[in-house]
Structure 1
Amino acid sequence: MAGRSTRSINGSDGSRTAPARAAALADLLHYECSTLLELFRKKENFTEDVADRRMVSVPPPSSQLDTRDKLWRIHSALLQCQKLLEKAVAKEEEELGGGKKGEYENKRKLVKERLPLLILSTGELLKAAEGTTSLTPSVEGLELNVPTNLFDLKLWVYRVYKEVNYWSKTATNTLKDLPSVIVKERARTTRARNRRSTRR
């Protein structure tokens, strides 16, 4: 696993583009979160089809979205995931007790630490795309009212993990497409600039 981490983030080429590095980070988060989901599912005897409803609220995907809008959508979703995850971890420790630290607790800590790094990366890409960013996470629609019933609490935590897993995978796919999109947009901008120069 350590080998995967090193390869995924750094790659063999030190000159990887920022979107490619962010995509590698998103892919690694998705891998870690998938493992976390599996550990939680086994721990609580949940089936895979439990809790499939979305928790994060962002505009639906569209082929009409430009690079900046795609980045904003991913960045906003990840910010909401972070709020949910922080609440879920705190509530789980409070209600279910810390107990001994095993593979599940270590994986949960890793996912919680990795998510802000991806948020930072997508935030930097967003700044580069629009020159500045003043995004704040929208909590509208977020289910931050945690259930008090023990079973419902476990189900809510599981839904949060599924949401982080879903959005890390979505981020991976979106970010992998960005380099080609950015190249096309730069080419279009350069052509427009050249046309303006020849008119002068």
Structure 2
Amino acid sequence: MADRRTRSMKSSNLSRTAVNRASMIALQLQGESSKLLELYRQKESFPADVTDGRLVSVPPPSSQLDTRDKLWRLHSALLQTQSLLERAITKEEEELGGGIKGEYENQRKTVKGRLSFLLLTTGNLLKAVDGAASLTPSLEGLELDGPTTLFQLKLWLLQVFSEVHHWSRAAVTTLQELLTNAADKQSSTTRVRSTRSARR
């Protein structure tokens, strides 16, 4: 497992407003990372059907996971994704040269900033449900140095950008699922209270 989790027995309510805000940030990142992928494919003449593998390692999704575990899994993946993206940007500038900044470079900067914001937001959500929980990211197994040949490097960059897009979509799915569950729970609680009041 790529990260180590420290749990506290303390728990607190998860704000639906905070989850909704995080979901909106994830939606923005999803659109922005999709645009970045499109610009990079055009820049390097990669066809849309180029196969890309997963670089981030987290436990598989499961319906058995509770809110805390779902948030931990997502936050863990985003931590790894951020490390990969930061290294990819550095590697690209070192090996391929900075050059004149254009739409692609600006989009890459936007995605980096949005991912950092989403990571901060999901971290706050995790603390809200797990008290003093903390994540100690481990980069073991991540290909942070990247390949050595030019083509392999470009393909690796494509994989990294694809990971950002993949986990932005996963974040949207996870956070919207948490919102739905919270709404269902609130509705159920309201019905129980109404039933009790009617019996009095």
Q: 1:89 to 1:72 in 2, by over 3 A?
A: same
Amino acid at match of 2:141: G
1:111-190 correspondence runs (5 A): 111-183=111-183
Q: Secondary structure at the match of 1:135?
A: strand
Q: Which consecutive residues of structure 2, in runs of 5 or more, have no partner in the other structure? A: 1-14, 190-200
1:103-114 correspondence runs (5 A): 103-114=103-114
CA deviation map 1:55-107 (0-9, x unaligned): 00000000000000000000000000000000000000011111001000000
Q: Distance in 1 between matches of 2:186 and 2:73?
A: 21
- The aligned residue for residue 52 of structure 2 is 52
CA deviation map 1:20-64 (0-9, x unaligned): 110000010010000000000011111222242110000000000
Give the Å deviation of 1:185.
5.9
TM-score for both structures, normalised by structure 2 = 0.82
Give the Å deviation of 1:138.
2.8
TM-score for both structures, normalised by structure 1 = 0.82
| RMSD of aligned Cα (Å) | 2.1
Q: Distance in 2 between matches of 1:66 and 1:148?
A: 41
> 1 or 2 for the larger relative contact order (CA 8 Å, sep ≥6)?
2
Q: Distance in 1 between matches of 2:28 and 2:153?
A: 27
Percent identity reads: 62
CA deviation map 1:121-167 (0-9, x unaligned): 00010001111221022323211231111111110001000000000
Amino acid at match of 1:149: T
1:55-70 correspondence runs (5 A): 55-70=55-70
Q: Which consecutive residues of structure 1, in runs of 5 or more, have no partner in the other structure? A: 1-14, 190-200
Q: Secondary structure at the match of 2:77?
A: helix
- The aligned residue for residue 73 of structure 2 is 73
State how many pairs are aligned: 176
**Larger mean Cα displacement after TM superposition, 102-111 or 143-152:** 143-152
The answer (yes or no) to whether the contact 1:126–1:132 under 8 Å persists in 2 is no
- The aligned residue for residue 84 of structure 1 is 84
Amino acid at match of 1:102: G
**Larger mean Cα displacement after TM superposition, 27-36 or 40-49:** 40-49
The answer (yes or no) to whether the contact 1:67–1:182 under 8 Å persists in 2 is no
Q: Secondary structure at the match of 1:173?
A: helix
Q: Displaced runs of 4+ in structure 1, greater than 3 A? A: 182-189
The answer (yes or no) to whether the contact 1:27–1:172 under 8 Å persists in 2 is yes
